[in-house]
Amino acid sequence: MNTPHDAAVTADMSTGPTPAAATTKVSVTVIGLGNLGRALARTFLDNGHPTTVWNRSAAKADPLVADGARRAATVTEAVAAGELVIVCVLDYDAVRQLLDPAAEALRGRVLVNLTSGTPGPARELAARVAGLGAAYLDGAVYAVPQTIGTREAFVLYSGAADAFEAHRQELGILGDAVFVGTDAGSTSLHDVALLSGMYGMFAGFFQALAIGDSAGIRPTELTTLLVRWLHEAAAALPGFAQEIETGDYTTETSNLEINAVGLANILIATRAQGVPVDLLTPLQELFAEQIAQGHGRAGMSRTIESLRHRRTDG
């Protein structure tokens, strides 16, 4: 994680004594003041950036305005006030509805869309913004609002590479700024992949607690042990990734046959406790498919080949 960067541009001091270095910081606009939007605006404001805010419910801006932010009366006014325009609202339809009346004001600015979405709409919005003479960056935030601006936060960006480089320091204030490609849809693709891993973990967590509950094990007790174990298990992921990237699934230890037997035992014991196995059965099916194809002695990471085989173009 990068530490927050100071985006100040220091005046030339070579022509004689100057009492203090004059600084000019990039002006920032934040449109949308939900929990995340307020945290974004607060972070820019706390780092000395002239910050303009707009929200449909104007009262949400009051604490920020009290601390020095400028309240815009309209979205057009908000866009015109910022060199860097951050949008963080409900969905892409809301982004378009808000920005269409402010289209002319966007010219020459950088629009950073931190609204959750999917690749197709991100690409469409990028083309629309480029046609208006502005640069577009699609972003995905990996942080809870209270960790914005700390080492715990990171944000993915894709789209206009020149705009990202020009504002890397400002974007780095929010958290580690990671550029993932010039395709504006790339951030959303990364987001879907990362969140899929997260929800898979949550599914395993709920399964674990359901099994524990069936035996009278307290959720807090089991979770303490599970978190400790998952930290250890996560250490295997970079190795799996390397195997998948190279296509070399050779292993002398935990192969698919061993894991299939272990998972089968888990499912038998789970059913015996009266707990459904819906969340783990699909993984068992993938293991079985790989073993049936003669890959039982390959590493467990070879399971991805069954997903690749089933991939559609839809």
Judge contact between 288 and 303, C-beta under 8 A.
no
The DSSP call for residue 148 is T
Question: Is the dihedral angle over the CA atoms 64, 70, 74, 75 positive or is it negative?
Answer: negative
The residue whose two tokens read 């970079």 is 238
Tokens of 46: 């706390």
Tokens of 82: 């910022």
pLDDT of 312: 78
Per CATH, the homologous superfamily of domain 9-182 is: NAD(P)-binding Rossmann-like Domain (3.40.50.720)
Burial of 210 (0-12, 13-18, 19+ CB in 10 A): middle
Q: What is d(CA 308, CA 118) in angstroms, rounded to the nearest whole number?
A: 21
Judge contact between 175 and 153, C-beta under 8 A.
yes
pLDDT tens figures, 239-256: 999 999 999 999 998 999
pLDDT of 20: 38
Instruction: For the chain, list residues with pLDDT below 50.
Output: 1-22
Residue 180, SS3?
coil
pLDDT of 181: 98
pLDDT of 303: 98
Which residues make up the CATH 3.40.50.720 domain(s) of the chain? Answer: 9-182
pLDDT of 242: 98
pLDDT of 311: 87
> Does 1.10.540.10 match the CATH number of domain 190-310?
no
Question: Is the dihedral angle over the CA atoms 177, 180, 181, 187 positive or is it negative?
Answer: negative
pLDDT of 174: 98
pLDDT of 5: 38
Q: What is d(CA 98, CA 115) in angstroms, rounded to the nearest whole number?
A: 13
pLDDT of 228: 97
pLDDT of 313: 62
